[in-house]
Amino acid sequence: MVTPSESNAAELMSAALDEQLAPEEEEAFAAMLAASPEAREEFEQLQDMLKLVKGLPEVEAPPDFFEKVAKKIRRRKLMRGETFLLVSLPFQVLSVMIVLAIAVTYMMLQLERDPASKLVRDAATPSDGVSEPAGDEDAPDKPRDETVTRPPAE
Amino acid sequence: MKRLKEGDERAFQELVTTYQNRIFSLTLRFMGNREEAEDLAQEVFLTVFRAIGSYRGEGRFYTWLYRIASNTCKNRLKYLKGRQHHRSIDIEDSPQAQLPSEEGGARQSLQSQIPGPEAVVRGNRLQRAIQEEIAQLDAEHRLLIVLRDIQGLSYHDIIRITGLAEGTLKSRLHRARLALKKRMDRHMR
In tens, the pLDDT along B46-71 reads 999 888 887 877 778 889 999 999 99
Residues A48 and A74 in one domain: no
- Chain B hits for A68, CB-CB cut-off 8 Å, are 38, 42
Domain-located, residue A26? yes
Residue type, A69: V
Interface probe, candidates B174, B175, B188, chain A, greatest A C-beta count within 10 A? B174
Contact list in A for residue B178 (CB cut-off 8 A) is 42, 46
How close is the nearest chain B Cα to the Cα of A89, in Å? 25
Residue A3: the pLDDT is 54
**Residue A129: what pLDDT?**
44
Residues A10, A51: one domain?
Answer: yes
Provide the mean pLDDT of chain B: 82
What's the confidence (pLDDT) of residue A107?
87
Mean of all residue pLDDT scores within chain A: 74
Q: Residues near B171 by Cβ (< 8 Å), separated by ≥ 6? A: A7, A10, A11, A14
Residues A72 and A50 in one domain: no
Per-residue pLDDT, B110: 53
* A149 against A66, higher pLDDT: A66
Which of B189 and B149 is assigned the larger pLDDT? Answer: B149
Provide the shortest C-alpha distance from residue B81 to chain A (in Å): 25
Among B149, B151, B156, the strongest candidate for a mutation testing the A interface, having the largest count of A CBs within 10 A, is B149
Say which residues have a Cβ less than 8 Å from residue B160's Cβ, sequence separation at least 6: B59, B60, B63, B67
Q: Is residue A78 part of a domain?
A: yes
In a domain, A126, yes or no: no
Q: Are residues A19 and A38 in the same domain?
A: yes
Contacts of A80 in chain B (CB under 8 A): none
Q: In terms of domains, do A43 and A77 share one? A: no
Q: Residue B151 has what pLDDT?
A: 94
Nearest by CB: A53 against B96, B107, B149? B149
Amino acid at A52: L
Residue A34 resides in a domain:
yes
The answer to whether B179 and B137 are in contact (CB under 8 A) is: yes
Q: In the listed set A37, A55, A73, which residue is the last one of a domain according to the structure? A: A55
Determine which of A87-91, A125-129, B37-41, B88-92 has the lowest per-residue pLDDT on average: B88-92
Contact between chains at A14 and B171 (C-beta distance less than 8 A):
yes
Q: What is the pLDDT of residue B155?
A: 94
Q: Is the pLDDT of residue A119 over 50?
A: yes
Per the structure, the complete domain to which residue A46 belongs is given by: 6-55
Distance CA A104, CA A99 (A): 9
Q: Enter the pTM of the model.
A: 0.68
Residues A70 and A104 in one domain: yes
Q: Which residues does chain B have within 8 Å of residue A54's beta carbon, measured at their own beta carbons?
A: 149-150, 152
Lowest-pLDDT choice from A87-96, B83-92, B99-108, B110-119: B99-108
Whether the predicted pLDDT of A27 surpasses 50? yes
Q: What is the pLDDT of residue B61?
A: 87
Q: Is the pLDDT confidence value at A116 over 50?
A: yes
Residue A6, classified by CB atoms within 10 Å of its CB into exposed (0-12), middle (13-18) or buried (19+), is exposed
Query: Considering its fold, how many domains does chain A have in total?
Result: 2
